[in-house]
Amino acid sequence: MDSFQFLLILRIALVAILYLVILQIVLVARRDFRRVAVAPAAATTRARDVIGHLVVIDTGSTPLQPGQTLDLEPITTIGRAPTNSIVLDTNFVSTEHARIIFKDRSLWVEDMNSRNGTFLDQKRLDQPVAVAPGAILQIGDVRFRFAA
C-alpha cells in the first residue's frame, strides 16, 4: 500500500469522525428527549403554583410597599438569605427565618429556629401551626396577612 492509499484511508477517517460527532450528539439529544417524555411532570412545571398570598400590612424596615401582595408557593421560605422565596433583608430577620408549607390541605407555618421568633396572631410559634385566611404573620418588624 503506497502512501497515497494510506492518505485516502486517513482522509476517509477524518470525514467519518466529523459525521460520528454529529451522530453522537443526535443520540445524546434523543436520550434527553426520551427522559423528558418519560417524566413530564418535572419538565412542564415551569409555571409556579400559587396557592395563596401574603398581603403586607406593616412594612417595618424593608423596602416593601404597604398592601403589596406576595405569592405563596407549595413551599415558601422567608429569611434574609437570597435563596429564600421571600427575601427580607433587614435586621430582625434571620438567614432562614420561617417557612410556609402546603400539605394535606392545610397551610402550615413553621419557625426555623430564628433568633427573634415568628409570631402568628401575636403568639410566638414553637411548632408548626395551620393557618386560615386572615391570620396575621409577624417576622421581625414586618407583618403580613394571609389571603387566599
Residues that bind another protein (CB under 8 A): 3-4, 6-8, 10-15, 17-22, 24-26, 28-29, 32, 42-43, 45-52, 73-75, 101-108, 110, 127-133, 147-148
DSSP letter string over 5-64?
Answer: HHHHHHHHHHHHHHHHHHHHHHHHHHHHHHHHHH-HHHHHTTS----EEEEEEE-TTSSP
From 90, 96, 97, select the one nearest 141 (Cα to Cα): 90
Judged by beta carbon, residue 21 or residue 115, the one nearer another protein is: 21
The least distance separating another protein from the CB of residue 42, rounded to whole angstroms, comes to: 6
Query: Cβ–Cβ contacts within 10 Å for residue 114, how many?
Result: 20
Judged by beta carbon, residue 69 or residue 91, the one nearer another protein is: 69
Judged by beta carbon, residue 80 or residue 140, the one nearer another protein is: 80
The least distance separating another protein from the CB of residue 124, rounded to whole angstroms, comes to: 15
The least distance separating another protein from the CB of residue 91, rounded to whole angstroms, comes to: 23
Judged by beta carbon, residue 64 or residue 147, the one nearer another protein is: 147
DSSP letter string over 110-141?
Answer: EE-S-SS-EEETTEE-SS-EEE-TT-EEEETT
The least distance separating another protein from the CB of residue 72, rounded to whole angstroms, comes to: 9
